[in-house]
Structure 1
């Protein structure tokens, strides 16, 4: 629950606390709008987007295609509420002229270069509904103070003379803006920006951006955005949708798609990007005593300041070989002086509660991951063991089946030999009876022949 509360700090343009620094990266991408909050002191943040824009060519000179890399660098110092940023893009533009035939050529260079700063001038405080325990309705009702926006101001300089040919807008021109943010809930917020750009040039423009961001969970966020630009001779607008994924505390990936409406032409812009920050932020702290009073650093007294040149030199040389964590002080009681060596007092900053919670979460996550790996390894081992046991049972069953088949085959062979033996014996017996019968028939024929011969002899 604590981890979810920490990670619920919105990435993109979402902030749910009044502090400037957040434990997870706070990126403006993939939208064009800017939150009134800064990244916090000691943070160096890079927000990049690889984009491709395509729109139909007009009958005059136009820029129907662009492909490039946008880079926004953000940092903060001097004050937590103040942020400095540099916005530029390196891109290849297709310049086309369309009449009877269409001709085109490519230009590579900077598409924009703006150095700016923003400052948070007002951050409203909302009621803590968790403390409302008497009424469920009051606890879950909407806080109408959330219609009061966070307010920031922006000021910057455009370096138009350094841009490539399609985007040149004269020399240096100022840009000012009003940054508003409404946090309607812990998941939904709306950022509104109003800008007056290229002031004092022939290319001055007034624009506004409205971005709605919704956090689906601790890692995924989606947005929808509308931008309207009013120039001297034309009006441009675009509508976009996209999503962002919080990869780690210091890295975010994002993607977006937009439809561009330029006069009567409709185009499309796609982009993918990554935001990364180098986090060197250190919380400021104030040491107080048990009564809440500020602890002032004591000025060290140099006991060698009244010594001569060689005395001070000798003390300095001797001090090179002393341990740095020890110091010698002189205790004076009346006329008696005594030197003692003590450890130098050290002041250590108490650890941040957020850092402790994050470390505990990481530690718990490592334990959980280790337990899951151990369980997975055990489950794999058990599965392999079960497979081996099944294989043994299968081989044993096959062996028994084979043994039974061999035994059955032997019995059948034995029966066959027995039947064959009986058949041979029966055949012999029949053969003997046949021979005996033939012998008797032959003897009978001989007797009949003898009787005939006797009868014949009698007749004669």
Structure 2
């Protein structure tokens, strides 16, 4: 029973012991995707709010501030064993910046876990997502689609902690964004059977333009076996367009 509690604690992209997979493991809001899928015939909802505070130099040399408040959602369903389908998107996104006052997106994807090991052995997951972006402002030229592919591998190196690594690519069919490679790594640790914390570093490498780095840290709290709360603080480093972001969320699962 104690081992089951340790598993339940890691609500984020890594679980401590992979003996049981009927607890919540959240793919939102961190940069990395987990190396696990939702159980067969399980329906999981993940909701969160974003609060972003940023400033950067405009082409005219002026310092501009951009504040964003958004509500995002991710719905995951275990269609087969070790295979899930998912729908994601922004339910609301308010951007205070120039003419582009509203932006939303929707995504459809799947996740497959070909390698599932128990105990201290690594786990591996393959992930693909198709995302559509649009804007209410025609002049914003943001009606486009992109594809995100990732490989996620997790490894429990301690009884109460482990490492998660993601490798990914992003391809924009419309050519609005440069093709991009991504790398992220996360370390997570459990303090009690309900409270955990994690730290993450992510590197975004576009074919054109400057590299972008993300440094974040967060906490998770397991209220009930299938109900969790989370909070994460993100710092983005990208030349002169840095920003700080706070995300808070809730996840719950319905079992068939």
What's the counterpart of residue 275 of structure 1?
Answer: 251
What's the counterpart of residue 239 of structure 2?
Answer: 263
Aligned length: 245
What's the counterpart of residue 173 of structure 1?
Answer: 146
Calculate the TM-score normalised by the size of structure 1: 0.49
Equivalent-residue separation in structure 1 for 2:52 and 2:103 (angstroms): 16
Cα distance change, pair 113–125 in 1 and its aligned pair in 2 (3 A): same
Contact 2:100–2:140 under 8 Å retained in 1: no
Cα distance change, pair 164–261 in 1 and its aligned pair in 2 (3 A): farther
Please, what is the CA RMSD of the aligned residues? Answer: 2.4
Q: Where does structure 1 differ by over 6 angstroms across 4 or more consecutive aligned residues?
A: none
Equivalent-residue separation in structure 2 for 1:270 and 1:167 (angstroms): 26
What's the counterpart of residue 50 of structure 1?
Answer: 49
Equivalent-residue separation in structure 1 for 2:42 and 2:136 (angstroms): 31
Instruction: Please state whether the residue corresponding to 1:152 is helix, strand or coil.
Output: strand
Matched ranges for 1:8-407 at <5 A? 8-9=6-7, 10-15=10-15, 16-17=17-18, 21-22=21-22, 24-60=23-59, 64-77=66-79, 79-89=80-90, 90-95=92-97, 104-105=98-99, 107-110=101-104, 112-126=105-119, 146=120, 149-160=122-133, 162-163=134-135, 170-202=143-175, 203=177, 204-231=179-206, 232-280=208-256
Instruction: Please state whether the residue corresponding to 1:233 is helix, strand or coil.
Output: coil
Calculate the TM-score normalised by the size of structure 2: 0.86
Q: Deviations over 1:171-201 (max 9, x none)?
A: 3332211111111123111111111112444
Instruction: Please state whether the residue corresponding to 2:102 is helix, strand or coil.
Output: strand
Instruction: Please state whether the residue corresponding to 1:57 is helix, strand or coil.
Output: strand
Could you tell me how far 1:68 is from its partner in structure 2? 0.8
Contact 2:187–2:199 under 8 Å retained in 1: yes
Equivalent-residue separation in structure 2 for 1:234 and 1:164 (angstroms): 28
Equivalent-residue separation in structure 2 for 1:87 and 1:167 (angstroms): 22
Instruction: Please state whether the residue corresponding to 2:101 is helix, strand or coil.
Output: strand
Higher relative contact order (CA 8 A, sep 6+): 2
Larger radius of gyration: 1
Could you tell me how far 1:239 is from its partner in structure 2? 0.6
Equivalent-residue separation in structure 1 for 2:44 and 2:140 (angstroms): 26
Contact 2:28–2:74 under 8 Å retained in 1: no
Q: Which runs of 5+ in 1 are unaligned?
A: 96-103, 127-145, 281-460
Structure (1 or 2) with the greater helix fraction: 1
Equivalent-residue separation in structure 2 for 1:43 and 1:187 (angstroms): 26
Instruction: Please state whether the residue corresponding to 1:8 is helix, strand or coil.
Output: helix
Cα distance change, pair 183–168 in 1 and its aligned pair in 2 (3 A): farther
Could you tell me how far 1:94 is from its partner in structure 2? 2.0
Equivalent-residue separation in structure 1 for 2:173 and 2:100 (angstroms): 30
Equivalent-residue separation in structure 2 for 1:124 and 1:216 (angstroms): 24
Instruction: Please state whether the residue corresponding to 2:81 is helix, strand or coil.
Output: coil
Query: Which residue, 2, 5, 8 being the options, matches 1:7?
Result: 5
Cα distance change, pair 218–125 in 1 and its aligned pair in 2 (3 A): closer
Equivalent-residue separation in structure 2 for 1:164 and 1:245 (angstroms): 37
Equivalent-residue separation in structure 2 for 1:173 and 1:159 (angstroms): 7
Contact 2:145–2:172 under 8 Å retained in 1: no
Instruction: Please state whether the residue corresponding to 1:184 is helix, strand or coil.
Output: strand
Could you tell me how far 1:45 is from its partner in structure 2? 1.0
Structure (1 or 2) with the greater strand fraction: 2
Could you tell me how far 1:116 is from its partner in structure 2? 0.9
Q: Which runs of 5+ in 2 are unaligned?
A: none
Equivalent-residue separation in structure 2 for 1:34 and 1:40 (angstroms): 16
Q: Deviations over 1:252-286 (max 9, x none)?
A: 11111111112123321011111111122xxxxxx
